[in-house]
Amino acid sequence: MEGTSKILPAERFDVLFEVLKKQGFDIWGVHEKDDALTLAPIDGPADLPRGRIDDTGPGKMRLIDGSRDAYFDHTLPMQGLKRLVYPPQDKVFETGEDYMFTEPPVDAKPIAVIGARSCDLVALETLADVLENGPYPDHRFAERRQALCLVAVNCTRAAKTCFCTSMNSGPRAESGYDLALTELFNSDGHRFLIEAGGERGQAVLDAMSVDEATDKDRHAANIISSTVAASMTRSIPDDARETLKSSYDHPQWSDIGERCMDCANCTLVCPTCFCSTIEDRSSLDGSIAERWRRWDSCFIRDFSYIHGGVVRKETASRYRQWMTHKLTHWHDQFGRSGCVGCGRCIAWCPVGIDITAEIRAISKTGEAVVEAGVS
């Protein structure tokens, strides 16, 4: 944690919104829509799903009323921060009758996201390793990321699908934020501990006429984070990376393949998946041509198509590719895991495939079963 910390009474929560707006930010936050939590533009605290919590499980997410009138007792929206910096569709250049190629300007609007969770902050850093700090930097991603003001929220409860503690990505924000909030309910009332994580966050905090936080307030916030961490029941084993390297032909892949629907939901909600494809589009008269980058998924059969045909023909091989890349080969490529333990892939899988259960099923055998085979 960096910077100073202050206390904001819940009845004055709108002060934070007002300061951010004065500093030129559009505000996004978690919003309830169609019985789900989504990340969307919001105007003030009234747009947040106050008093609502999410009941999640494998293949399940529903909203119910919580036991208290908290703003942030819910956990994650179905989308992370990815689409704000790496849109599902992005025009990368265009040309007309003059045959001059031009790149459209980056729509890097100043956006303040209120409610970003620690796992999503780590996911954004993970994407930056690939798209901003890698061998082929994407300046469009970098410009959008730099325009974000991230107001993190430290989790006050864990969803049943969360396993961020085993991925060292939560439940408390440790880096990558401008401000971090912890919602407190105690004898001193309903309040927010607000901590600055950098110069931009400190500028927001300095513009708010609120009291300094005490050691008692900070201790209360630490207790909440420790309690949430201890409540998580799912995890990824420490030896998952090595286990998967030695289990390429494990029969569990075929078992998963019989259940998986190839719908690609897991990659669409994953905050770190970055696979894309390129589409060239032209006007009917051929006078205008555009090149677009759009999200793709390794679960789509044609994703691995090359001139000789589809490389990964079976569902089992595609799931294996996704899971081993997340938990094993991402380490080899980028020096960290590609999974942050958010649990979205578990909750939004129509058939309830649980990545933590699958890795444990593979780990039980200990050694690869070569004769099973998955092509």
Instruction: Please list the pLDDT of the chain residue by residue as tens digits (375 residues).
Output: 456 899 999 999 999 999 999 999 999 999 999 999 999 999 999 999 999 999 999 999 999 999 999 999 999 999 999 999 999 999 999 998 888 899 999 999 999 999 999 999 999 999 999 999 988 999 999 999 999 999 999 999 999 999 999 999 999 999 999 999 999 999 899 999 999 999 999 999 999 999 999 999 999 999 999 999 999 999 999 999 999 999 999 999 999 999 999 999 999 999 999 999 999 999 998 889 999 999 999 999 899 888 889 999 999 999 999 999 999 999 999 999 999 999 999 999 999 999 999 999 998 754 433 333 333
Asked if residue 260 and residue 132 are part of one domain, the reply reads no
Asked if residue 263 and residue 206 are part of one domain, the reply reads no
Do the domain assignments include residue 99? no
Give a three-class secondary structure readout of 298-321.
Answer: CCCHHHHEECCEECCCCHHHHHHH
- The reported pLDDT for the residue numbered 1 is 44
- Count how many domains the chain has: 2
Asked if residue 185 and residue 51 are part of one domain, the reply reads yes
Query: How many CA atoms lie less than 13 Å away from 252 in the CB half-sphere?
Result: 23
Asked if residue 301 and residue 153 are part of one domain, the reply reads no
Asked if residue 171 and residue 261 are part of one domain, the reply reads no
Asked if residue 110 and residue 21 are part of one domain, the reply reads yes
Do the domain assignments include residue 357? yes
- The reported pLDDT for the residue numbered 366 is 43
For the chain, how big is the Rg over CA atoms in Å?
A: 22
- The reported pLDDT for the residue numbered 368 is 36
Structure-derived torsion over alpha carbons of residues 274, 348, 84, 337, reported in degrees to the nearest 10: -40
- The reported pLDDT for the residue numbered 365 is 53
Asked if residue 187 and residue 146 are part of one domain, the reply reads yes
What domain range is 324 assigned to? 240-274+296-365
Question: The pTM is what?
Answer: 0.93
- The reported pLDDT for the residue numbered 2 is 54
Do the domain assignments include residue 44? yes
The rounded distance, in Å, linking the Cα atoms of 48 and 181 is: 15
